[in-house]
Amino acid sequence: MSLIKGVTLGQYMPADSFFHKLDPRCKLLVTVLSMILIFMSGNFPAMAIWAFFIIFIAKKSQIPAKALMRSAKPILVLIIFTSLLHIFFTGGNNIIFSIGPLKASAEGTVTAFRMGLRLYLLVLFTALLTFTTSPSELSDGLEAAFGPFTRFGFPAHEVAMMMTIALRFIPTLFEETERIINAQVSRGADFVSGGLIKRAKAYIPVLIPLFVLVFKRADTLASAMEARCYRGGKGRVRMYPLTWGSAENRALMGFFVFCTVVICLNRWG
């Protein structure tokens, strides 16, 4: 009855590496730029270079290969689905095989492979980010990145705090949901048989207790935070303040060089 054990949620793996110690703002910037570039990557040589880049960072950050591979599991279904769409619905004249009215084209297969690879590389890159950056660093980085927008009324600190708390409670909520499901199954609740509507209704005895629990917790948590002198972002200091130094500059320089190589490969590869 175990819910989602075994699928890594891009969990933070602490280690003493260059990339772990980098300022999260730098890592966020690199990740966002990489995502854009990966998506613009047209040809396979470029994508091969990305793959090497990812493997290089993973090795240097002491991330085990298995964990990295497993991080793409959640979107495997999506990749397969979009691949099938490309294979069968991209127009083209080179038909490889057909199943009834569906025709699989060579162009479609190539596109599918390219798209699939892009998505895979994208997810792996974001996994690199979450493996080497603790949730708190991530939200600090985001808070700092959106800092300039607070003068326009954007609640950067509040959003960052909400993210931190949400991430903190994900494992707890999974456990509690599992417990409630077990309690209702023990009383004869049935989540597997019957039509879609019947099965959806069967979840009401799980969702209601969960919501009640969550709202009560929100109340107590707010009191506990206030009791620990929380009063919003005003005057708040961080134990490990973000510092942008030579390491970050070097990392960015290296990254820009890499990007140039990739863009060239794309143009002329």
CA–CA separation, 206 and 203 (whole Å): 5
Q: Which of 69, 95, 183, 253 binds another protein (CB under 8 A)?
A: 183
Per CB under 8 A, does 230 bind another protein? yes
Element (H, E) at 253: helix 246-268
Contacts of 113 (CB under 8 A, 6+ apart): 83
Per CB under 8 A, does 189 bind another protein? yes
Per CB under 8 A, does 246 bind another protein? no
Give the nearer residue to another protein in terms of CB position, either 12 or 255. 12
Per CB under 8 A, does 16 bind another protein? no
Contacts of 97 (CB under 8 A, 6+ apart): 104
Give the nearer residue to another protein in terms of CB position, either 107 or 176. 176
Count of residues in the chain: 269
Phi, psi dihedrals of residue 105, rounded to the nearest 5°: -105, 155
Q: Which of 48, 115, 217, 252 binds another protein (CB under 8 A)?
A: 217
Closest alpha carbon to 142 in 224, 27, 249, 12: 27
Per CB under 8 A, does 77 bind another protein? no
Per CB under 8 A, does 11 bind another protein? yes
CA–CA separation, 54 and 76 (whole Å): 18
CB of 2 to another protein, least distance (A): 8
CA–CA separation, 145 and 34 (whole Å): 17
Per CB under 8 A, does 93 bind another protein? no
Q: Which of 108, 134, 160, 262 binds another protein (CB under 8 A)?
A: 134
Angle at 249 between CA 135 and CA 46, to 5 degrees: 80
Give the nearer residue to another protein in terms of CB position, either 24 or 108. 24
Contact set with another protein (CB under 8 A): 1-2, 5-6, 11-12, 14, 134-136, 164-165, 167-168, 171-172, 176, 179-180, 182-190, 204-206, 208-209, 212-213, 217, 220-221, 223-231, 235-241
